[in-house]
Amino acid sequence: MLVFSDGSVCNGPVGYGACAAVLFPIVNNGDIQIVTKPIGKLVCSEKCEMECVILGLEMSAQYLRGTVSTISDRLHHI
C-alpha cells in the first residue's frame, strides 16, 4: 500500500488551504482512492501538510480494516 499526500495554500504564506491524499491499494486490481479536504481560509502550509498526514493515516487505517475483515471472512468460509 502506498499513500501520497499534499497540503498547500493558495495566495501566499497564509491563505486558502486544502489537502489531498491518494492511496494505492495492496492488490493491483484494487481501486485507487483519492480524498480531498478543505482546511480553512487563513491557514499556513504547515497546517495543511499536517492535516494531510492525518488524512492519509485515516485512509490507510480504514482501508486496512476493510482488507483485514475481508480476509477474515474468507478464512471463515474455508
Give the pLDDT confidence of 8-33 residue by residue, as tens digits: 999 888 999 999 999 998 877 778 99
CB 69 within 8 A of CB 33: no
Contact in structure between 36 and 20 (CB atoms under 8 Å): yes
Check residue 73 and give its pLDDT.
Answer: 63
Task: Report the predicted TM-score, pTM, of the whole model to 2 decimal places.
Answer: 0.77
Q: What is the structure's pLDDT at 12?
A: 83
In this prediction, residues 1-14 reach a mean pLDDT of 89
For residues 37 and 35, give the distance between their C-alpha atoms in angstroms, rounded to a whole number: 7
Mean pLDDT of the chain: 86
- What pLDDT, on a 0 to 100 scale, did the predictor assign at position 31? 86
- What are the angstrom distances between the C-alpha of 77 and each of 70, 71, 72? 11, 10, 9
Query: For position 70, what pLDDT does the model report?
Result: 62
Q: Kindly list the domain boundaries of the chain, sorted by start residue.
A: 2-76
